Amino acid sequence: QCPDPLFKKKHQKRRMVNDKVVQELSVGLAPGGYVFVQSDVEQVAMQMVDTIAANGNFDRVDRFADRAPGQESSKQIAPIARPHATMGKDFQDHNVAGGEWDHKGAGAVEGSYNWLADNPIGLMSERESSTLSRGLPMFRALFVRKEPEVAAKAAA
């Protein structure tokens, strides 16, 4: 959650979500299993979503299958008020590594990434809580592992 953005292009290979990790997830994660990614830097979130979408073994979903539309997790918690937190830098419009990355746009639907408004798990990391308490946005996406035959048909 909220990996170091590593803005320099030469450091992007160190990011947590890359082709190798996503391929390993597609092999090791059972069909129907979920991958949830989020960042407080939109371009980092875009890059994660594009990498997962380009793999072809995952579908983007807006909620867990066992939840009805609009049904929130029973574990939802509010951000912790952090009166001594500094405003920090809003990286939302930061041009990460010149704005270029592998698979750019693969996760967008009609030009939009359609970020999830809420954390579908309901439990926040400290970074997420701090970001939200400062009024800054989080960029979230949820994927489900496809059934192998569906993934094979999509690749063909």
Does the pLDDT value for residue 32 go beyond 90? yes
Could you tell me the pTM of the whole model? 0.75
**Exactly one of 4, 19, 62, 102 is catalytic; which is it?**
4
What is the end-to-end Cα distance of the chain in Å, rounded? 33
Kindly indicate the confidence band of residue 93, based on its pLDDT and cuts at 50, 70 and 90: very low
DSSP, collapsed to helix, strand or coil, labels residue 104 as coil
**Number of separate helices (H) and strands (E) present in the chain:** 4, 3
> Would residue 4 show up in a list of annotated catalytic residues for this protein?
yes
Q: What is the pLDDT of residue 53?
A: 95
CA distances from 143 to 65, 109, 125 (A): 11, 14, 19
Q: What is the pLDDT of residue 104?
A: 83
